[in-house]
Structure 1
Amino acid sequence: MAIGRVNVAGLNVKLFNKAAEIWRFDGGDPSHSNSIDIDIDDKGYVYSSHYFDTIRKIDPSGKEIWSKKLNYLTSVGNLAVDNNGYIYCNVGTYSIGKLDSNGNEIWNFSFTSKGKNPYIEDVAVDNNGYVYCSIATGDLVKLDPNGNEVWNYKQSTSIKSRITIDNNGYVYFVYSSKGIVKLDPSGKEVWNNNEHYSNVVDVDDKSYVYLGSSNGDLIKLDPSGKEIWNYKQSDKINSIAVDNKGCIYFTCSSKGVVKLDSNGKEIWTYEGYNPGAIVVDKNYVYLTGGSNTISKITKELYIKK
C-alpha cells in the first residue's frame, strides 16, 4: 500500500510504506493532544510534547514507553532533550523544568521575576547541559545544568524563532527587531543580520546557519552571517533539521518533507501527510503529523519498481 508520493529527479512515483516509513505512532484523538514538538536522544528514543499537558517517550521501534500529564498546564509547548536523555520543557505557566528519562522532575526555574506574563516560548540545550529559554518579555536566559541563571540577554521585542546552539556553544535566534542574532557562550552579541527575518532556525556542525521563513524562502548563511544561497518555494516552512552530512530537511504543507543537499539543490520531496516538527539523526528522519502522529522514516527514499 502506498503511503505517499516522492519526486526524485523530476519523476513523480509512488512511495511504499515498507520502503521509507519505519513506523508511525498514533497518539490518539487529535482534538485532545495534537503534537507540538519532537526531539531524540543519542540512543534513538523519541520524545514528544502535546497540547493539553502531555509528554511522551517512544522507543526506537515506535512503542510508547510512558506518557506523562503535567496537570497544571494547558500545553507543554516546545521541548529539548540532551545527550543523556534528560528532558527540558514547561512545568508551569512561567516555569521551565528538567526531567529525568522517566519523566520525573529534577528541578524547575521560574521566570516570574522577568516581568509581566513571562510565558516560555522555546527551550534548547547544548552539549554540556546548559539550558536556553526564550520568554515573551524579550529575554533569552541561560541556565546551568543545575537550573541556576548564568546570564540574561534582553531586548524590547520578542524572539520570533526557535533557539539553536552550535557545537561551540554559540546561540542563534531571531528577534522581530534585529533579524538573526548570534551570541557567544557568555551572552555577548557576535553579529546580527537584519536582512532576514525567519520563524525557524537551525545550524550545522560547521556553524553554517539555515533560516526558514513564512514566505517559503530557505536561506543558508556562513558562520559570519553572510548569505550563501536562497532556496525559494511558496509555502511557509514549519521546521528545519540539518544532518551530519550537511543535508537540509524541512517541512511545509504543500510539499510535505523536502530534502536539499548542502548547495541548496532539491534531492527529494515526500508528500505522505502534513508534517509539523522535524528532527534527524545519522540514519533517520522523525516527524510530527497533523493528525497527532509521529513517524520515523529513512533519510534515503527507495522506489518500488
Structure 2
Amino acid sequence: MSSGIDYNSLFISIQTNLYKYGGPILMVLGTVSCVLSLIVFTKKNLRKNPCAIYLVAYNIGNLLQIYTTMLLAILSIGYNIDPTLYSLSFCHFRYYTQFLFTILSPSYLILASIDRILITSPNALTRQRSTLRVTYISIIGVTLFWLLAHIHTLFLTYILEPVPNLIICTFQPGFYLTFIDYYTILIQDILIPLLMIILGIWAVKNLRQRRQVTAVTVTAATVVVRSTQSKSKDSQLIQILMIDIGIYIIFSAMMPPVLIYLQILQTEPYDFAKLELVSLLLNVALFSSYVPFCVGFYTNFLVSKTFRYEVKNIIKC
C-alpha cells in the first residue's frame, strides 16, 4: 500500500512539474517561433507563393493552439487552476478549442502538401492549379468545415460530480464518449499523420523527378535546362514543409498507443495503479504533442538556407 502511494505521488509530481516549469518555457518559445515565422512568411517576396500562405495559416493556428488548449492544460495540470470546473461556458470552450485547433494546424500542412504536389507535377496544366485564389478558398473552406464539424462539443459537454467533492468537465457518458474516443484515435492520431506521410512522400517524389536535368538536343548541341530561382524557392518551401510534418509526426506518435492502452484498460477490472500510470503517460503524450506547434521557426532556421536568408534580411532592416 505504501509503495503504491509513493508511486502515485511520484507520477503526480512528474506531470505537475512538467507542466509547471516546462509549460511556460514551451509557451514562450512557441510564441517567439510563431511570431518570427509569420514575419518571414508574410514578406513581400514570399506571400505571393501559395505554400507560404499555407504556412502563415499554419503559424496562426499554432498561436491559437498555444493560447487556448495549451494554456488551459498548463493552468490545470501545472498550477491546479481549472476554470472549466466552475463555468459551463469554459467547459464548452475548452473541448471545442481543443478539438478545433488540434486538427486545424495539421490540416493546413496537408493543404500545403497538396499544393506542393501540384506545383512539382510534370504536367503543366496541373501546375497551373497552384494559385493564390485556390489557396485562400482552401484555407477558408477547411477552416469553416472544422469549425462546424466540432460544434457538437458545445452542447454535449457537461460539468459533473461523479463522487462527492470531485468535479469534472467531461463528455456526455455513453455512446458520445465512445464516439469521441474513437474519433480522436482514428481521425486525429492516425488518419491525419498518415495523410501527411503519404502526401509528403508524393511531393518529394515529384520534386526529385523535377530536379532531373532535362537534356534538349538542338542541331547536335545539348542545352541543359537549369532550375530557375522560383523553382529553388519552391524546393526550399518543400524542405520547410517536410521538416514541419516530420516534427509533427515524431512528437505526436506517443498519443495513439497511450489512447489505445486506455481503451484496453476500460475493459479490464479496475486497477488504480494502472490508471495513474496511464494518466501520467497521457499527460506526457499531450505535452509532447504541443512541441510541433512551438518549434517551427527554430527547425526551419537550421535546415533552410532561404529561411535563414530571409531572417537575416529582417534583422538588417
TM range (shorter): under 0.3
Higher RCO by CA contacts (8 Å cutoff, separation 6 or greater): 2
The structure with the larger Rg is: 2
Which has the larger helix fraction?
A: 2
**TM-score, length-normalised on structure 2?**
0.24
Using the size of structure 1 for normalisation, the TM-score is 0.25
Tell me which protein shows more strand as a share of its residues.
Answer: 1
